[in-house]
Amino acid sequence: MLHALRFVTAGESHGPGLTALVEGMPAGLELDQEVMDYDMVRRQSGHGRGGRMKIEKDHVEVTSGVRFGKTLGGPISITVPNRDYKNWEARMNPWPVDQEPEPVKMPRPGHADLVGVWKYGADDVRNILERASARETAARVAGGTVARAFLRALGVEVRSRVVQIGPVTVPALTAPLTVEDFEGIDDDPVRCLDAEASRAMVKHITVQRKANESIGGAYEVQVFGAVPGLGSHTAWEQRLGGRLAAAICSIQAHKGVEFGDGFALAASPGSQSHDEIFNSDAEGIHRITNHSGGLEGGMSTGQPIVLRAAVKPIPTLTKPLRSIDLDTGEPAQALRERTDSCVVPAAGVVGEAMVALIIADAYRQKFGGDHIDDVKAAVDAYRERIGWQTAVTGG
């Protein structure tokens, strides 16, 4: 499948820096460095983050594709420097050094370490873990800031909230969420909209961290304002749900994704599983439920796109798990490095970025346009043709 928008990242956790390359954005799109940097700060937030976040002060450095705050239509290159590289230069220098450090030989269960060593023939686990590290998500968020700016110009907003930390879950919603409901969420220590659940989550993280445990959980991403018809039913690789699921599950430590009512639909009768269609003079064609999560037949329905992602506990523990020494085959403790105890609040920000990139690509595929004004005109013409004016509520 050819993508109208291409996105790649490069870089290692403790190397000189990370790079995001976004290709396929129209010219004339306004970018705001402060807004982009704020997303980088959001990725570093949340109760349960570790010492690395005290070292890094992530910000974007745009090196191509933008002039005077507007995109030029060519590839956009963004660098996120690693401040910690000065402490790792002898171990992560791109060029030969006088004395190479001791290789890492104790792979961590749950990480890419062991399989990566096998696959790439590495004699040092660090050759694998540096690229496999979730530090790479800083580049994803950097690239996602461009996609978010593009979507915002078209009236589309992407938001996230934490819905579970360990066994602590948020209560079921009594009404669909709106964009306004997410205001101030980044001020909460775990990016949760329910104050009581937030306090319980913070307490659980604190208790488990003192017990040398890492903690997983789940977050929800919602997309507001996307037009109906993004994606396609005509080919498996063009189905929007499949593309979103792949993007979410490509994020480190992510083990599952569901849309709308998701796995609960397996226990529901059909009469309670689908979103009935109504028509009225006031609202036009609309729905009053959103069991599908804004997706039907591989396409967006015009309702909020709602997905939830499951994040496992990260595999680097302060009390390492059992492993082996790759040289001797003897039992050994897994590698211990500076780590977080819970990354779920930050993972939601990464999830936003990946969802924004996929939705932005779907818009680029459907509407084309060399300049942002061309895209807006094409979107307006489509909305007029189908008689669609605004996102349908229902969550």
Query: Is a pLDDT exceeding 80 seen at residue 70?
Result: yes
Query: Is a pLDDT exceeding 90 seen at residue 391?
Result: no
- Tell me if 240 is assigned to some domain: yes
Question: How far apart, in whole angstroms, are the C-alpha atoms of residue 359 and residue 352?
Answer: 10
Residue/partner pairs of 278-286 with CB below 8 Å, 24 or more apart: 283/392, 284/387, 284/388, 284/389, 285/387, 286/392
Question: How far apart, in whole angstroms, are the C-alpha atoms of residue 136 and residue 123?
Answer: 22
Question: How far apart, in whole angstroms, are the C-alpha atoms of residue 379 and residue 22?
Answer: 22
The pLDDT tens digits for 90-109 are 999 999 999 999 999 999 99
- Tell me if 318 is assigned to some domain: yes
* Structure confidence at residue 316 (pLDDT): 83
The pLDDT tens digits for 288-298 are 999 999 999 99
pLDDT confidence band for 55 (50 / 70 / 90):
low
Query: Is a pLDDT exceeding 90 seen at residue 189?
Result: yes
- Tell me if 111 is assigned to some domain: yes
Q: What is the mean pLDDT of residues 39-43?
A: 94
Q: Which of 312, 353, 314, 351 has the alpha carbon at shortest distance from 164? A: 312
Question: How far apart, in whole angstroms, are the C-alpha atoms of residue 112 and residue 125?
Answer: 9
From residue 386, give the alpha-carbon distance in Å to each of 96, 228, 353, 364, 382: 61, 9, 29, 19, 6
Q: Which of 61, 106, 78 has the alpha carbon at shortest distance from 9? A: 78
* Structure confidence at residue 252 (pLDDT): 97
Question: Is residue 80 within a helix (H) or strand (E), and if so which, with residue range?
Answer: strand 76-81
Tallying the residues shown for the chain, one arrives at 395
Residue that is written with structure tokens 């269960």 in the block: 109
Query: Is a pLDDT exceeding 80 seen at residue 217?
Result: yes
Q: Which two tokens stand for residue 263?
A: 């796995």
Q: What is the mean pLDDT of residues 258-263?
A: 97
* Structure confidence at residue 318 (pLDDT): 82
Query: Is a pLDDT exceeding 50 seen at residue 322?
Result: yes
Question: How far apart, in whole angstroms, are the C-alpha atoms of residue 205 and residue 212?
Answer: 10
Query: Is a pLDDT exceeding 80 seen at residue 393?
Result: no
Alpha helices in the chain (DSSP H): 33-43, 52-55, 85-92, 113-120, 126-132, 137-153, 195-210, 240-249, 344-367, 372-386
Look at the chain and report how many structural domains it folds into: 1
Residue that is written with structure tokens 């001797």 in the block: 328
Question: How far apart, in whole angstroms, are the C-alpha atoms of residue 4 and residue 22?
Answer: 11
Question: How far apart, in whole angstroms, are the C-alpha atoms of residue 388 and residue 301?
Answer: 11
Q: What are the backbone dihedrals phi and psi of residue 313, each rounded to the nearest 5 degrees, phi first?
A: -60, 140
* Structure confidence at residue 54 (pLDDT): 56
Q: Which of 201, 214, 115, 125 has the alpha carbon at shortest distance from 164? A: 201
- Tell me if 316 is assigned to some domain: yes
The pLDDT tens digits for 347-361 are 999 999 999 999 999
For residue 373, what are the domain limits?
Answer: 6-386
pLDDT confidence band for 390 (50 / 70 / 90):
low
* Structure confidence at residue 51 (pLDDT): 55
- Tell me if 392 is assigned to some domain: no
Question: How far apart, in whole angstroms, are the C-alpha atoms of residue 140 and residue 60?
Answer: 12
Residue pair 294/301 in contact by the 8 Å Cβ criterion: yes
Counting residues of the chain whose pLDDT is more than 70, the rounded percentage is: 95
Q: How many CB atoms lie within 10 A of CB 213?
A: 16
> Residues 6 or more apart from 345 whose CB is under 8 A from it?
45, 46, 47, 48, 162, 189, 190, 191, 219
Question: How far apart, in whole angstroms, are the C-alpha atoms of residue 373 and residue 378?
Answer: 9
Cα R_g (the chain), whole angstroms: 22
Q: Provide the mean pLDDT of the chain.
A: 94
Q: HEC states along 335-378?
A: CCCCCCCECHHHHHHHHHHHHHHHHHHHHHHHHCCCEHHHHHHH
Question: How far apart, in whole angstroms, are the C-alpha atoms of residue 302 and residue 34?
Answer: 30
- Tell me if 1 is assigned to some domain: no
* Structure confidence at residue 56 (pLDDT): 63
- Tell me if 393 is assigned to some domain: no
pLDDT confidence band for 49 (50 / 70 / 90):
low
The pLDDT tens digits for 114-163 are 999 999 999 999 999 999 999 999 999 999 999 999 999 999 999 999 99
CATH number assigned to the domain comprising residue 302: 3.60.150.10
pLDDT confidence band for 48 (50 / 70 / 90):
low
* Structure confidence at residue 394 (pLDDT): 37
- Tell me if 159 is assigned to some domain: yes
pLDDT confidence band for 340 (50 / 70 / 90):
confident
Query: Is a pLDDT exceeding 90 seen at residue 362?
Result: yes
pLDDT confidence band for 253 (50 / 70 / 90):
very high
* Structure confidence at residue 197 (pLDDT): 98
Query: Is a pLDDT exceeding 90 seen at residue 395?
Result: no
* Structure confidence at residue 53 (pLDDT): 53
pLDDT confidence band for 26 (50 / 70 / 90):
very high
Residue pair 149/29 in contact by the 8 Å Cβ criterion: yes
Q: What is the mean pLDDT of residues 297-323?
A: 94
Q: What is the mean pLDDT of residues 16-42?
A: 97
Q: What is the mean pLDDT of residues 277-285?
A: 91
> Which residues, in sequence order, are bridge partners of residue 299?
231, 296
* Structure confidence at residue 50 (pLDDT): 60
Q: Which of 247, 270, 260 has the alpha carbon at shortest distance from 296? A: 260
